[in-house]
């Protein structure tokens, strides 16, 4: 009975736009056909990307799109959700700027098949899908088959908002150009993953008494009261060290490797303190890549072992 109901359900072409801000378009296979997460589709573009003779690349956003063979609406929407949850992880792992734009809203086409390349659409199966015209330039030859068929399927679907936010920040660094801004972005990512934990209950009780004393003796010194309240949680540096320890353990690193990463974190945060207070430029360019590698290490550990954020 369920199979009969599925067979009679109205079907739709699922159009999924793909966008990159760095002209890293995907080179389609010869016949344009792919099978993504078990569903056949075509990889298309309204105008095939070409590089003018006087250009070495283009900042123009490149939009290709996937057109999945007709599916029941419920299946198509579930597939879109899967793509949306995996694509940021794929972009993070491959270090590219690649996304499904405006995926929170899906346009339903039941009267005509013309679809825009800036948001997903469901086009009823008896209509012919027709993309709105769009020109683009690119110089990439990244293969779509490996990228979307193999690598996307290997990416887990992440739902933890903390990990998704860290991935979004990491992917956004692809759009930054200043070394100082990129460095600070990576440290912000580490900050977002290292949640401070409460100190033991006996220390908390002792601090509560000190807060009461401060309120009684220095009523107007709200800063002192706030500082004492902040002491009820472990320091930010401790939170980062502990997170690195849990991540290293989860990924099977040695104690020596973990201590080296913890020492690196201390060095990087000392540099950030100088940048934040003096507004100076990043003096050591290698620290930018070190911050990136440390942040990516923590994100990768969180993707594989989300529990490290709550331990």
Half-sphere exposure of 2 (CA within 13 A, CB side): 0
- Cα separation, 290 vs 163, in Å, equals 20
> CB neighbours (10 Å) of residue 22?
17
Q: Can you give the pLDDT at residue 55? A: 41
- In this model, does residue 136 exceed pLDDT 70? no
In this structure, is the dihedral angle defined by the CA atoms of residues 69, 74, 79 and 80, taken in order, positive or negative? positive
Q: What is the pLDDT of residues 231-282, one digit of tens each?
A: 766 778 899 999 999 999 999 999 999 999 999 999 999 988 877 766 566 7
Q: What is the pLDDT of residues 68-82, one digit of tens each?
A: 999 999 999 999 999
Beta strands in the chain (DSSP E): 11-20, 26-27, 33-36, 39-44, 62-72, 107-109, 114-115, 121-124, 130-131, 142-143
Half-sphere exposure of 282 (CA within 13 A, CB side): 19
Mean pLDDT of 131-136: 60
Task: Report the relative pairing of strands 62-72 and 39-44 from DSSP bridges.
Answer: antiparallel
- In this model, does residue 48 exceed pLDDT 50? no
Q: Can you give the pLDDT at residue 61? A: 65
Q: What is the pLDDT of residues 117-133, one digit of tens each?
A: 888 999 999 999 988 75
Sequence ranges of the domains in the chain: 2-157, 179-197+234-309
- 180 pLDDT tier (thresholds 50, 70, 90): confident
């Amino acid at each position: 009975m369920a199979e009969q109901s599925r067979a009679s359900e109205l079907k739709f072409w699922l159009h999924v736009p793909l966008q990159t801000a760095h002209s890293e378009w995907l080179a389609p296979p010869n016949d344009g056909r792919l099978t993504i997460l078990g569903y056949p589709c075509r990889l298309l573009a309204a105008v095939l990307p070409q590089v003018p003779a006087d250009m070495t690349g283009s900042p123009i956003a490149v939009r290709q799109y996937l057109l999945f063979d007709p599916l029941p609406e419920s299946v198509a929407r579930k597939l879109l959700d899967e793509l949306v949850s995996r694509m940021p992880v794929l972009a993070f792992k491959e270090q590219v700027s690649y996304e499904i734009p405006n995926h929170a809203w899906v346009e339903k086409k039941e009267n005509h098949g013309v679809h825009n390349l800036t948001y997903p659409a469901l086009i009823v199966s008896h209509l012919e899908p027709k993309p709105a015209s769009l020109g683009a330039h690119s110089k990439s030859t990244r293969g779509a088959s490996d990228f979307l068929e193999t690598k996307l399927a290997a990416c887990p679907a992440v739902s933890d908002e903390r990990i998704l936010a860290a991935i979004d920040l990491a992917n956004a660094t692809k759009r930054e150009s200043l070394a100082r801004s990129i460095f600070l972005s990576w440290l912000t990512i580490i900050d977002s993953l290292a949640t401070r934990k409460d100190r033991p209950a006996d220390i908390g009780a002792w601090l509560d008494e000190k807060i009461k004393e401060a309120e009684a003796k220095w009523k107007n010194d709200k800063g002192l009261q706030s500082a004492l309240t902040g002491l009820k949680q472990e320091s930010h540096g401790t939170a980062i060290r502990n997170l690195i320890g849990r991540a290293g353990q989860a990924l099977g690193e040695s104690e020596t490797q973990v201590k080296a990463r913890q020492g690196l974190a201390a060095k990087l945060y000392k540099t950030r303190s100088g940048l934040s207070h003096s507004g100076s430029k990043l003096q050591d360019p290698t620290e930018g890549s070190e911050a990136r590698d440390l942040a990516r290490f923590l994100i990768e550990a969180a993707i594989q072992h989300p529990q490290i954020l709550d331990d």
